[in-house]
Amino acid sequence: MTKCPKCGYENPPEAKYCLNCGYKLIQEERERFEGSGLLLITSGTILIVTFLFNALLRVFSLLAIIYVIFGITSIYSGYRLYRGPSSLADLILASVSIIFGFSGTLFLYIIGLAFKGLVTPDWIIYLIATIKLLTDRKKLKNALKMGNVSHNR
């Protein structure tokens, strides 16, 4: 018997939720993505630092602002991944950050090489983050399932 800490109802031991009041008896651990999360935070930070320097050294461009925004988004979604994404929106934001971070920094890398401009190999980190997240597919599914469970309650 598992006594509900909220209402005191005696539940069968296998119960996940209190049969009387619906209180969650087993506090499930949220799936965490420490690796991908840290990679996103790192690449986001590099992005911001690089472009702040770029902005100081050259004419401050609109492009720099856009990439700083991407940097901030990367850090935020990386943090959510690290802590354990709690919603589909967290996972979508992380995917968007990775996709734009990768394509954007790769584009700039090529431009930088061609015009001897600013070269940042940040895209490599985004690429690793993508691979890391792809290898965590199973965990992603679990995270989504858990999100659904808590959503229905």
6 in contact with Zn ion (CB under 5 A): yes
Query: Please, which residue, 18 or 93, has the CB nearer to Zn ion?
Result: 18
- Measured distance CA(129)–CA(78) in Å, rounded: 10
Query: Please, which residue, 92 or 149, has the CB nearer to Zn ion?
Result: 149
Query: Please, which residue, 12 or 56, has the CB nearer to Zn ion?
Result: 12
Q: Which of 65, 67, 77, 93 is nearest to 40 (CA)?
A: 77
Please check whether residue 58 is in contact with residue 112, taking contact to mean a CB–CB distance below 8 angstroms.
Answer: no
- Which residues does residue 3 pair with via DSSP β-bridges, in sequence order? 10
18 in contact with Zn ion (CB under 5 A): yes
Site for Zn ion in 46-105 (CB under 5 A): none
| DSSP-H helix ranges across the chain | 34-57, 62-83, 88-115, 122-135, 137-152
Q: Which stretch binds Zn ion (CB under 5 A): 17-25, 60-68, 120-128, 135-143?
A: 17-25
Residue from 2, 15, 23, 139 that binds Zn ion (CB under 5 A)?
A: 23
Q: Which stretch binds Zn ion (CB under 5 A): 21-29, 66-74, 83-91, 124-132?
A: 21-29
19 in contact with Zn ion (CB under 5 A): no
7 in contact with Zn ion (CB under 5 A): yes
Alpha carbon separation from 136 to 42, 116, 129, 151 (Å, rounded): 19, 37, 11, 22
17 in contact with Zn ion (CB under 5 A): no
Residue 122, token pair as written in the block: 């940040």
